[in-house]
Amino acid sequence: MDDVTPLLAAVDTFADRLRTLPQSRLSRGAAAEALALARELAVWTQRIEEPDAPAVREMPDAGMFAVADQVAVAGHDLAEALLASGGVTEGVARAVGLVEEAAGRCGL
């Protein structure tokens, strides 16, 4: 059976850590890094769900205090798309790596 649990755990952990950061730390780059990750995960999801779409929609910048939720939503959406497409094995490992890299760049 395909398992997206590692991806869900990674995005939820990263989002939870982002929620604990003070505004000063978010504004020094953590929020921008997290938004970049959320956007990357969202684009990946769109390409799985709508491979023939002429253009992808960019996740908006909803502000530094919303970015943790954006990461969580984008990660959960990607997990569902990977399950539906059958690309779990390769996709989960790649996505977890992206989350871990972003967390590392944020110092988390």
Q: How far apart are CA 36 and CA 42, in angstroms?
A: 10
The residue ranges of DSSP E strands in 36-102, in sequence order, are none
Contact (CB, 8 A) for 84 and 45: no
Q: What is the DSSP letter of 26?
A: I
Q: How far apart are CA 20 and CA 1, in angstroms?
A: 34
pTM of the predicted model, to two decimals? 0.94
Give the tens place of pLDDT for each residue, 98-107: 999 999 999 9
Give the tens place of pLDDT for each residue, 25-83: 999 999 999 999 999 999 999 999 999 988 889 999 999 999 999 999 999 999 999 99
Taking residues 5-27, what's their average pLDDT?
A: 97
User: Domain spans of the chain?
Assistant: 5-105
